[in-house]
Amino acid sequence: MTRLQNSWQWTFKTLSAVLLIAMLMGCNKEEPELGPATAQISAYNHTEDFIYQFYIDGAGGASVRAYEGGGKFVCCISYPREWRPDLSVTVRWTTSASKPKPYTGETWHEKVVPIEQYTTPGTTLNIHFLKQGNVRLIISNMGSGNAAYPGPRPPEKPADWPVTIIKGDLK
């Protein structure tokens, strides 16, 4: 064998070994860092007040009528893929009276609210506005109407609550 052939064989074997090691290192079972998860926001109003607007850490939400919600989504909020005990956000919202009460203006509320424990990232952050200014935040792939949903059932209007008429109902 010539010196040139020995040199090529040595180079080929060295490169093969380096590639094999690199491929074996790529078989590590850990997933690469995916960054934060994102979720759309869906609101549920379990109160008699009209929620004119709300914000979760500055991400805006739409209005929600008294005893209604779900099914409408606003985009988006980022959150960690793994839940931790100190995970909370600041929720700001404004309320005003709903029929049959007369409108007397809007009232702003603000509260630091923990995001309830989740085991896997979900596609929706469900926000539940409850009586006495309580708020629950649940990250899930299902809505409040699903039997396996970990939070409150959908809002229910009291039997004596007036029927909501919107412009589209009058056509």
Q: Do 159 and 112 belong to one domain?
A: yes
Q: Do 136 and 69 belong to one domain?
A: yes
Q: Do 134 and 85 belong to one domain?
A: yes
The pLDDT value recorded for residue 39 is 92
Instruction: Sort 125 into a burial class: Cβ within 10 Å, 0-12 / 13-18 / 19+.
Output: buried
Instruction: Find the farthest-apart pair of alpha carbons in the chain and give their distance in angstroms, rounded.
Output: 100
pLDDT bin (cut points 50, 70, 90) of residue 103 is confident
Q: Do 149 and 105 belong to one domain?
A: yes
User: What are 33-89's pLDDT values in tens digits?
Assistant: 778 999 999 999 999 999 999 999 988 878 899 999 876 677 788 999 999 999 999
pLDDT bin (cut points 50, 70, 90) of residue 27 is very low
What gap in Å lies between CA 5 and CA 11, rounded to an integer?
10
What gap in Å lies between CA 57 and CA 79, rounded to an integer?
11
What gap in Å lies between CA 31 and CA 106, rounded to an integer?
48
Q: Do 22 and 42 belong to one domain?
A: no
Evaluate if pTM is beyond 0.85.
no
Number of domains in the chain: 2
Q: Do 43 and 92 belong to one domain?
A: yes
Range of the domain at 2: 1-30
Q: Do 140 and 74 belong to one domain?
A: yes
Q: Do 89 and 107 belong to one domain?
A: yes
Type of residue numbered 55? Y
The pLDDT value recorded for residue 5 is 56
Backbone phi and psi for residue 6, each to the nearest 5 degrees, phi listed first: -60, -40
